[in-house]
Amino acid sequence: MADVQGLPPAFSASDGRDLAIRIRGVTKDFGAGGSLTRALRGVDLDVPYGEMLMLVGPSGCGKTTLVSIVAGTLEPTAGEVVVLGQDLVAMRRGAKVRFRRENVGFVFQSYNLLPSLTAVENAAVPLLIAGWRRSRAVDAAADVLDTLGLGDRLASLPSELSGGQQQRVAIARALVHSPRLLVCDEPTSALDAENGRITMELIQRIAVQPDRAVVVVTHDARVYSFADRIASMEDGRIDSVSTGPHGSDPTMPPRIA
């Protein structure tokens, strides 16, 4: 991928790490006239490679809107959005679809698995979208599911899996094409504490890599401990960015490479 023209070849965080996400002055309005709602009010945010950032805040504060813009599924009203070196604001629609296909993995709150596909077929969907042959895509997806401990449930339909297992299938689907950005929307909200912990451990173990970045939207305070940094949002703005346990506590266990 070529870097954005007119922008420096690489952005760096204050600690010298290259930035995976750089957002400046982003606003997003919904509606018009009297019914206009301003969901984002000038958001600035940097996320370096190798970091897991959590977006937290009350409902309606703009977390989902912000993560949708970062993932390239929503256009900002104004501002600058550079993700993985690509200017998403200037990008044409077709290029943005390609960008998502090649670079972004998604883990959704409600999993959004296709109910008529088996676990391994669901996990293979991004590869099928990318044009892989079905047998090859399914083989690759089976490997990822095996890594996530679902090697014995490959042929199960989503309805035959527990919530935790479905979320693991969703994680496999998000990671099967080795995306450089993983976007997770409330990945643990539908899970009990144990499954939530397992899910976050998996995301941390597999997705947080030096050449990747992870953005997690969550309400779930139980998983804050997995964050490198936590951006707290309020009323369409980022109120504060604090360093998470992983970003500051030297006693935290090291990441598994």
Q: Given the rule CB under 8 A, which residues bind other proteins?
A: 64, 67-68, 71, 73-74, 94, 97-102, 104, 106, 108-110, 112, 114-117, 121, 125-126, 128-130, 134, 185-186, 217
Q: Which of 164, 49, 180 is nearest to 111 (CA)?
A: 164
Give the residue with the Cβ less far from other proteins, 123 or 198: 123
How many Å apart are CA 28 and CA 65, to the nearest integer? Answer: 8
Give the residue with the Cβ less far from other proteins, 20 or 70: 70
Beta carbon of residue 197, minimum distance to other proteins (angstroms, whole number): 21
Beta carbon of residue 79, minimum distance to other proteins (angstroms, whole number): 17
Beta carbon of residue 92, minimum distance to other proteins (angstroms, whole number): 12
Beta carbon of residue 171, minimum distance to other proteins (angstroms, whole number): 14
Give the residue with the Cβ less far from other proteins, 114 or 252: 114
254: Cβ–Cβ under 8 A, 6 or more apart, which residues?
Answer: none
How many Å apart are CA 88 and CA 81, to the nearest integer? Answer: 6
Contact 151, 145 (CB under 8 A): yes
Beta carbon of residue 121, minimum distance to other proteins (angstroms, whole number): 7
Beta carbon of residue 9, minimum distance to other proteins (angstroms, whole number): 26
Give the residue with the Cβ less far from other proteins, 11 or 106: 106
Q: Which of 125, 217, 113 is nearest to 175 (CA)?
A: 125
Give the residue with the Cβ less far from other proteins, 130 or 252: 130
Provide DSSP, 14-30. Answer: TTSPBEEEEEEEEEEEE
Q: Which of 97, 127, 122 is nearest to 111 (CA)?
A: 122
Give the residue with the Cβ less far from other proteins, 63 or 153: 63
63: Cβ–Cβ under 8 A, 6 or more apart, which residues?
Answer: 55, 56, 57, 217, 233
- Residue 242 neighbours by CB distance under 10 Å: 15
